[in-house]
Structure 1
Amino acid sequence: MIHFQELYETSVVEKDEHRNSKQYKKLSPKMRNAVDDIFKKMDSKPSDFLNSFEKTMKEVSK
C-alpha cells in the first residue's frame, strides 16, 4: 500500500525549483540559459529524456 507522503515526495516537483539552488545562482547567464533549456526539454518529454540525453546536450551546448 502506498502512503500519501511517499507519493507526494516522488511525484510532486515544483517547476523551476532548480533556480533556487546556490549553485545555479553562481552560474553565468549563458550557463543559466543552458540549464534552463535542459530542464525545459526534460519537462516536455520526461519519458524520452534519457534516450535522447546526448542529443539534448549537443543541442544545448551550441
Structure 2
Amino acid sequence: INDDQKKLAQQGVKMLFASSSERDWGIIMAGTIMVVIPTLIVFLLAQKFFVKGIATQGIKE
C-alpha cells in the first residue's frame, strides 16, 4: 500500500520511529498506546474463547 491514508496504525508508528534522526518519544509512545489498547481490549473480551479453543485442541475423541 503506497497511500499513507490506507496504512495500518502499526505501520504509522514504525514510520514515526524510523523517519527522523531525532525521535519524539512522547508521540511514539502515544501512538504505541493507541495501537495496543484496542488489541488488548479485544483479547480480554475474547480471552475465554481463546483459552477454550486452545484447551480443546489437545483433546482427542
TM-score by length of 2: 0.32
- Largest Rg, 1 or 2: 2
